[in-house]
Amino acid sequence: MKKAALWLALGAVAFLAALWAAPQAEGLWSALFPEVSRPAYVQESWFVLLGSHLALSLGAALLAAMLGIPAGIAATRSSGRALRPVVDAAFTLAQSVPPVAVIALALPLLGFGAAPTLLALVLYGALPLLRATVTGIESVPAQITEAARGLGLSPWQRLTRVELPLARPVLLAGLRVAVTLSVATTAVGAVAGARCLGTPIIIGLTNANPSYVLQGALFTAWLALLLDRALSLLAGPQSSP
């Protein structure tokens, strides 16, 4: 546990160092892409791109959690059972439309920038969280909820003291999927003009600069991996009482 956290911290430091070094590593990029005249991406600071990428993807994940988790809780209440198919259908629809399509469809409505991307990311991330919440709560053995009821826990106490703590591993696994998906998918937002680690990819593609594409792809993937690690550390072994 301790060791894994240390490795994670080292990985994060290496990532930040690479972001800092990338604009200065002219030599490295020109060695890789000799035909490109200006191979180092220097238009914007990588840290600015990282910041807005994180704000966008984590913000979207947060919003997705604020939608998906309460919807999952509502769908598992005895009063919400009837609601369940409707909620499921709505979220399945959201999931079956690819994010690029959502962005494209939202463009005329929301205009260029971060908004269409945010919309796509939220719709995309809410479903895994809804599913995880429902699965997690429904995996709590019936005799445990029966005992909780029989001992006089109120519905709210049953949810917060029994169901959610026992659903925690499944919930955190869902959260991890949602965040990782969100971080990886945010890069697509560059198409609609959202500033993020995908921006150099789009610029590189439109200007026939494979060096930009590589740098953007590298850092996007690296960030997604780092966050996945971090969240698996959180969700991993039952650390809390």
Partner 1 sequence: MIRFEDVSQRYGEVQAVRGVTFGVPSGVLCVLLGESGSGKSTLLRMVNRLIEPSGGRVLLQGQDVAGIDPQILRRGIGYVIQSVGLFPHRSVAENVATVPRLLGWDAARIAARVDKLLAMVGLEPGEYRARRPATLSGGQAQRVGLARALAADPPVLLMDEPFSALDPATRRGLQAELRRIHANMGKTILLVTHDVEEALALADRIAVMEAGRLVAEGPPLAVLGWETPASVRRMLGAETLAFHRLSALRAEDFALPGFAPGAPLLAAGGTMRDALLLMLTHGTDRAALAGEAARHLPLSAILAAP
Q: Site residues (CB under 8 A) for partner 1?
A: 141, 143-144, 146-154, 157, 162, 165-166, 241
C-alpha closest to that of 227 among 176, 190, 187: 176
Give the Cα-Cα-Cα angle 165, 166, 169 (nearest 5 degrees).
90
Residue reference for tokens 């029994």:
162
C-alpha closest to that of 51 among 217, 221, 194: 194
13: which 2 tokens?
Answer: 């430091």
Nearer Cβ to partner 1, position 58 or 166?
166
Contact residues for 11 (Cβ-Cβ < 8 A; gap 6+): 226, 229
Nearer Cβ to partner 1, position 10 or 151?
151
131: which 2 tokens?
Answer: 């599913």
CB 187 within 8 A of CB 219: no
The DSSP letter of residue 37 is S
Nearer Cβ to partner 1, position 80 or 165?
165
C-alpha 61: how far from chain center: 5
Residue 136 CB, nearest approach to partner 1 (Å): 13
Nearer Cβ to partner 1, position 101 or 151?
151
Neighbours of 198 (CB within 10 A): 24
17: which 2 tokens?
Answer: 């160092």
Residue 162 CB, nearest approach to partner 1 (Å): 6
Nearer Cβ to partner 1, position 10 or 81?
81
Residue 149 CB, nearest approach to partner 1 (Å): 6
Nearer Cβ to partner 1, position 93 or 147?
147
Residue 78 CB, nearest approach to partner 1 (Å): 13
Residue 77 CB, nearest approach to partner 1 (Å): 16
Residue 163 CB, nearest approach to partner 1 (Å): 11
C-alpha closest to that of 220 among 25, 22, 2: 22
The DSSP letter of residue 216 is H
